[in-house]
A and B are shown apart, each in its own frame.
Chain A
């Protein structure tokens, strides 16, 4: 037991020295999450507004101007250019000068009086976010305008003096994020995502590197056990990841002002568990790869899958079961729910214990698999 501890201590010292000596890697690893967080947080604007719009108003009357104004006042559409007809609007979208178009046919005001006004909104279907935002915004604005007109007409017909607005109002309250602030959505998940990239990348090449450089032979002739080697490779990286986590969380909370609703200590402990599972996953990649290049390719694939299948960007509920299952193979899937639960919702363990258990089980499984696959390779 004592000898095992001594062995282990020596290994940890070796790993620490190696990590600290490679200054450039250390600098990249420590600065990277910060840069990514800043860039991402400023770049991501999920509710797309101020969509450049080409307008072809062939009526030029009060009603048509009111509709154009309703669209621009909403903030969703900006008039980029006024054109003559539909063909020109389509061309402007083809060229990329505009992302949306509004075509109002001649005699718009008169047809509204008759109750059959029509207008056409064109959207650039090559850009998904523009379409999503533009579609709902255009419909909502048009409908609001339409209902205004309806209420006006009803009033004019003298249906009831009391009818000044619609009979039912639905007020919507968005929990946890009342202003639908993009950063509140993004920062917890982004912190989790960056943490996983960091953790996996840190260990993904660790064993492959020893193998490629031939130093693995030297390790093999020592009495070291596979599990001891795995854990020792993790320890310096747990420290680095913890620093990364701290930076990302502090910048998110204090710089971007994302409210931290839950218990910071609970979050810290859960993050530690998550870091260990990420590092263990990296080690597994590292033991099954023959070269560093392979390890790099696999961790790249993992990164792409994490971006899309873990609920980071796209909701998991509509995904088919097989794809959901693939997402379950990645620790980020569990931790994104935990991060959102603790940071955004402010709930405690009583609501989160299933994901915590899953993550704990995952971390253990990965460690055992990594050690086992290393052992197999040794023989």
Chain B
């Protein structure tokens, strides 16, 4: 039995090594992705291009605009004369935010009795991250500025002692595990999980469907090999390639991008090994329902996209509606993302992760059994 599995493995390995171009693509793809994303992803947007309409140009309005600019969130790209101009500039895409300071702003700010000065901030709502950043930043900055003005007014009235320099409540935010909000630290765990899945599924599914499409499967059927043996033989070389990729990603992530690996490396490797089998099993399942490589490719596409979106890699799972969360449970990525984040970023051990590990174990067992069952009739 071992000899038969070994024979299939040899055949697969020779096939993989001989097809140099595919091998090259498979091994270099994760690196390309890592480098692109490593330099690309930046979710906190700053230097948002902003246009200004200042209908009462004076010290007070300049101070207000200065506060926004010095925060680094906004860059003034032009001064316009009316609100309609601002809307047009945003329509054209020249600016993504605009600020309109009405006439009489200074008088309202300076004289205590005259009520409140109104400012209008316009934000481009067609781009998600920009509008969120602009909205939040502007609100916070504007409030701080308003508080400063209030403070100055209190001081001038001479009733407050010097201690009113600080606001009465000081809330500090500490971010665990990733204090500098480094985007790559978020990315690396999810990316290892994602690449492991996409590649394992694609490798197994395509390799079996190709045999079928080319008619080679007939030749394999006349040998004494059993379907489980054939599957194992096909899975091993795929697992090997994927593991090499895993190690390169981690090495580049840790040594080049300096993402700290907080937890136990060996624990991670063992769990990754377990996880690889879930992808291989899914790939086998796809191969049993696909008649040709085109179908397999479409199915792989769906599973990858849906898996990425529902697994909590990009969007957190606890905000999803229950039905969608259940759908996410169908993908092994869902169990492995918390494991990878837990070990790499948080540095926790198996005692906090055992639920995910148990779920993954059950998943792998189920997928493999199902694949073997379905694979047999597909051979006939």
A residues contacting B by CB (< 8 A) are 22, 24-25, 28-29, 32, 35-36, 39-40, 42-52, 67, 90, 93-96, 99, 112, 115-132, 135-136, 138-140, 142-147, 149-151, 153-154, 157-160, 162-163, 165-178, 180, 182, 184-186, 197, 201, 204-205, 209, 212-213, 290-301, 303-305, 307-309, 311, 313-315, 317-320, 322-323, 326, 337, 340-341, 344-345, 347, 351
How long is the Cα–Cα vector from A88 to B214 in the complex, in angstroms?
Answer: 60
The 8 A CB mask of B69-93 against A (1 = contact, 0 = none) is 0000000000000000001001111
- Contact across chains for A297 and B293 when beta carbons are under 8 A apart: no
The 8 A CB mask of B165-205 against A (1 = contact, 0 = none) is 01111111111111101010110010000000010001000
- Contact across chains for A96 and B36 when beta carbons are under 8 A apart: no
The SS class assigned to the A binding surface is helix
- Contact across chains for B39 and A322 when beta carbons are under 8 A apart: yes
- Contact across chains for A25 and B295 when beta carbons are under 8 A apart: yes
Can you spell out 29 A-B residue pairs with CB atoms less than 8 angstroms apart? A22-B291, A36-B302, A43-B310, A48-B319, A51-B318, A94-B346, A118-B171, A120-B172, A139-B171, A142-B169, A146-B168, A159-B159, A160-B157, A165-B116, A168-B116, A168-B142, A170-B142, A177-B131, A209-B294, A293-B207, A293-B210, A300-B29, A305-B33, A315-B42, A317-B130, A318-B42, A318-B46, A318-B47, A347-B92
Tell me the nearest residue of chain A to B319, going by C-beta. Answer: A45
Which residues B30-56 have CB closer than 8 A to chain A?
32-33, 36-37, 39-47
Q: Which residues of B contact A291 (CB under 8 A)?
A: 19, 22, 210
Tell me the nearest residue of chain B to A137, going by C-beta. Answer: B136
The verdict on A169 contacting B176 (CB below 8 Å), with A150-B150, A303-B305 known, is no
B14 located at the interface, meaning its Cβ lies under 8 Å from any Cβ of chain A in the complex: no
Q: Which residues of A contact B323 (CB under 8 A)?
A: 42
- Contact across chains for B90 and A175 when beta carbons are under 8 A apart: yes
How long is the Cα–Cα vector from A51 to B318 in the complex, in angstroms?
Answer: 8
Contact check: which of A47, A167, A307 meets B149 at CB < 8 Å? A167
- Contact across chains for A169 and B153 when beta carbons are under 8 A apart: no
Q: Which residues of A contact B143 (CB under 8 A)?
A: 143-144, 147, 166, 170
Tell me the nearest residue of chain A to B157, going by C-beta. Answer: A159
Q: Which residues of B contact A120 (CB under 8 A)?
A: 171-174
- Contact across chains for B292 and A319 when beta carbons are under 8 A apart: no
- Contact across chains for B139 and A167 when beta carbons are under 8 A apart: no
Tell me the nearest residue of chain A to B119, going by C-beta. Answer: A170
Contact check: which of B92, B125, B206, B328 meets A180 at CB < 8 Å? B125
A120 CB → nearest B CB, Å: 5
The verdict on A296 contacting B297 (CB below 8 Å), with A126-B189, A126-B346, A151-B150 known, is yes
A-binding segment of B105-113, B219-227, B274-282: B105-113
B118 located at the interface, meaning its Cβ lies under 8 Å from any Cβ of chain A in the complex: yes
Q: Which residues of A contact B172 (CB under 8 A)?
A: 118-121
Tell me the nearest residue of chain B to A174, going by C-beta. Answer: B125
- Contact across chains for A131 and B181 when beta carbons are under 8 A apart: yes
B342 located at the interface, meaning its Cβ lies under 8 Å from any Cβ of chain A in the complex: yes
4 new A-B contacts, CB < 8 A, other than A39-B309, A48-B316, are A46-B128, A49-B319, A145-B169, A168-B142
How long is the Cα–Cα vector from A45 to B45 in the complex, in angstroms?
Answer: 19
B86 CB → nearest A CB, Å: 9
Q: Which residues of A contact B150 (CB under 8 A)?
A: 150-151, 154, 163, 166-167
B residues contacting A by CB (< 8 A) are 19, 21-22, 25-26, 29, 32-33, 36-37, 39-47, 64, 87, 90-93, 108-109, 112-113, 115-132, 135-136, 138-140, 142-147, 149-151, 153-154, 157, 159-160, 163-164, 166-179, 181, 183, 185-186, 189, 198, 202, 206-207, 210, 213-214, 290-295, 297-302, 304-306, 308-310, 312, 314-316, 318-321, 323-324, 327-328, 338, 341-342, 345-346, 348, 352
How long is the Cα–Cα vector from A25 to B119 in the complex, in angstroms?
Answer: 56
Among all A-B residue pairs, the 4 with the closest Cβ atoms: A125-B178, A177-B125, A142-B171, A170-B142
Q: Which residues of B contact A301 (CB under 8 A)?
A: 25, 29, 32-33
The verdict on A138 contacting B189 (CB below 8 Å), with A151-B150, A314-B41 known, is no
- Contact across chains for B181 and A115 when beta carbons are under 8 A apart: no
How long is the Cα–Cα vector from A182 to B168 in the complex, in angstroms?
Answer: 35
- Contact across chains for A131 and B318 when beta carbons are under 8 A apart: no
- Contact across chains for B154 and A136 when beta carbons are under 8 A apart: no
Tell me the nearest residue of chain A to B99, going by C-beta. Answer: A170
- Contact across chains for B166 and A172 when beta carbons are under 8 A apart: no
Q: Which residues of A contact B45 (CB under 8 A)?
A: 315, 317-318
The verdict on A176 contacting B298 (CB below 8 Å), with A119-B169, A122-B174 known, is no
The verdict on A147 contacting B320 (CB below 8 Å), with A135-B173, A140-B136 known, is no
A75 CB → nearest B CB, Å: 12
- Contact across chains for B170 and A117 when beta carbons are under 8 A apart: yes
- Contact across chains for A157 and B159 when beta carbons are under 8 A apart: yes
- Contact across chains for B178 and A112 when beta carbons are under 8 A apart: no
The verdict on A128 contacting B132 (CB below 8 Å), with A90-B176, A145-B169, A150-B147 known, is no
- Contact across chains for B119 and A296 when beta carbons are under 8 A apart: no
Q: Which residues of B contact A22 (CB under 8 A)?
A: 291-292, 294-295
